[in-house]
Amino acid sequence: MATGLPVIARDLSGLRYNCGDVPLYGNTDAELLAALRALDDEETRSKAGSKARQFVVDHHTQSHAITQSAGFSAALRCEVSILMPVFDTPAAWLSECWDSIREQTFREWELVLVDDGSRAVETIAEIDRIARDPRVVLIRFDQNEGISCALNVGLSQCRADLVARMDSDDTMLPTRLQRQVAYMRAYPDVTVLGTQMQELLDEPVLSPRHPEHVTDEYIEHQRNTSSIWFLNHPTVMMRRREVIKLGGYPEYRVAQDLGLWLKVFRAGLKIHNLPSVELNYRRHPNQVTRADGVRLEEYAQIVEECYSSSFSQRNF
């Protein structure tokens, strides 16, 4: 009950004495199965779970409830940690993102949600709602520390070695985690794996495709013809231990992801992309890389710095 999960139980007097009317009771197997089917309804499930947790909070200390919830979360099998920073994301978008995570065909995940000093009341309320799920680890900053800090702190708290990045205003396709986990199992020498994505406009629009294997030649061609872009950051799954060994995300205001990928590449590690679309990307005016010309200039400087330091020792 302390975990905030609904409880179904046989109607025994001793249980009613200790738990009141919190559980969904049944006397027969048929009644218990009917109670279980009732929990298919999300609103019923949410209310029953909230009622169970509130009962524990009212009848025990808050620390007792937190300890029990943390213990339950730690016992859950976790093969993938979903790492998601949030800063004042509109609550409706955050809710859609959370729904897409819960609809994944791959079930053995945890969500490490880093609230990077959100101030929007509706966003904070939605974060608190999501955090009631025992699969969610909430890290909350008192003030906005920036995405690099949020990602690195989140990485340090991920239980799984496979970490899936997610942005709080996007949505996953249901097969995303399943397909990426299968690929990472099949290719243990791959450190970073992205996917293709489509933009959420009036009609879904496929973003520029990235190569299945990122090579020196491909990056050199991009460098000479346009800009270096070979991974969609919110689609990435990566091996946590190897990324942490490289120091995690660099402390840039923009292009933190590119700085990390170039460090991965400099270390001789492999970066691949799935050919399938596994993410719906929401484009909006407040995104950092679209914000203003000054930041775009800063991005260009970082690309130059990372490119030169990362590839000066490589042979083309």
pLDDT tens digits for range 168-220 = 999 999 999 999 999 999 999 999 999 999 987 656 667 778 989 998 888 88
For residue 290, pLDDT over 50 is answered with no
Question: What share of the chain in percent tops pLDDT 90?
Answer: 51
Average confidence (pLDDT) over 38-53: 84
Q: For residues 312 and 229, which has the higher predicted lDDT (pLDDT)?
A: 229
Helical (H) or strand (E) element with 190: strand 190-199
Mean residue pLDDT of the chain comes to 84
Is residue 316 very low, low, confident or very high in pLDDT (cuts 50, 70, 90)?
Answer: very low
Per-residue pLDDT, 11: 81
Per-residue pLDDT, 287: 53
Strands (E), 73-189: 80-86, 109-115, 136-140, 162-165, 171-172
Measure the CA–CA gap between 53 and 299, rounded to whole angstroms.
Answer: 46
For residue 21, pLDDT over 90 is answered with no
Q: For residues 262 and 83, which has the higher predicted lDDT (pLDDT)?
A: 83
CB-based contacts of 45, cutoff 8 Å, min separation 6 = 6, 39
Per-residue pLDDT, 280: 95
Per-residue pLDDT, 7: 85
For residue 302, pLDDT over 70 is answered with no
DSSP assignments along the chain, one per residue: -TTS---EEE--HHHHHHHTT-SEEESSHHHHHHHHHHTTSHHHHHHHHHHHHHHHHHHS-HHHHHHHHHHHHHHS--SEEEEEEESS--HHHHHHHHHHHHT-S---EEEEEEE-S---HHHHHHHHHHHTSTTEEEEE-SS---HHHHHHHHHHH--SSEEEE--TT-EE-TTHHHHHHHHHHH-TTEEEEEEEEEE-SSS-EEPPP--SB--HHHHHHHHHHS------GGG-EEEHHHHHHTTSS---SS-HHHHHHHHHHHTT-EEEEEEEEEEEE---TT-GGGS-HHHHHHHHHHHHHHHHHHHTTS--
pLDDT tens by residue, 56-93:
777 765 555 555 555 555 656 799 999 999 999 999 99
pLDDT tens by residue, 115-158:
999 999 999 999 999 999 989 999 999 999 999 999 999 999 99
Average confidence (pLDDT) over 257-276: 92
For residue 309, pLDDT over 80 is answered with no
For residue 108, pLDDT over 60 is answered with yes
Average confidence (pLDDT) over 44-48: 84
For residue 312, pLDDT over 50 is answered with no
For residue 314, pLDDT over 50 is answered with no
Per-residue pLDDT, 303: 65
Evaluate whether 104 touches 172 at the Cβ level (below 8 Å). yes
Structural domains of the chain, ranges and CATH numbers in brackets: 8-73 (no CATH), 76-311 (3.90.550.10)
Q: For residue 45, which phi and psi values (nearest 5 degrees)?
A: -65, -45
Per-residue pLDDT, 266: 84
Per-residue pLDDT, 213: 95
pLDDT tens by residue, 243-253:
999 999 988 77
pLDDT tens by residue, 218-240:
888 877 776 778 999 999 999 99
